[in-house]
Amino acid sequence: MHQIIKENITKNLLLASILGILYPIIHNFLSQSSLFSDKSASGSIIVVTSIIAVTACFGNFAFTYEKINVNDSFQRYLAHITTGLLMLVIGISLIFTLNLTAIIMGPFIILEITLLLLYLACVGYDFWDVYRVSL
């Protein structure tokens, strides 16, 4: 297995761990905030969160590992850090969206699955992009 693939697996496992730790923190914060009783403010925060998520998605999908020298460890790590930060922002934004939507309309399993699929698609794209340069 190529080094860049191992590094990418490590990055994505680290991101999953960080997001797993952040989920209950964000959930508890939002549950105890004034947003819980002010549904219109929750809707406004969803709009802001969505703008942040779209910006991060654009950066994540615009980036490609094909433009780096995979033999240069500095370029590889810089690429992993860049994509990792963008994917972290996407994950945090989706956690906020999930929790704020639950505040506004209650839990909705289809939305929960959709947001999970969106994040998994970002992870899949990340692996596909790394796989292309490792051939």
pLDDT digits (tens, 9 = 90+) for 96-114: 999 999 988 888 999 999 9
This model's pTM is above 0.75? yes
Q: Under a CB-based contact definition with an 8 Å cutoff, are residues 86 and 123 in contact?
A: no
Q: Under a CB-based contact definition with an 8 Å cutoff, are residues 76 and 4 in contact?
A: yes
**Residue 86, helix vs strand vs coil:** helix
Domain ranges of the chain: 3-134
**Residue 69, helix vs strand vs coil:** coil
pLDDT of residue 52: 96
pLDDT of residue 1: 65
Neighbouring CB atoms inside 10 A of 78's CB total 12
pLDDT of residue 50: 93
Q: Under a CB-based contact definition with an 8 Å cutoff, are residues 103 and 30 in contact?
A: yes
pLDDT digits (tens, 9 = 90+) for 42-61: 888 999 999 999 999 999 99
Mean pLDDT value across residues 64-73: 93
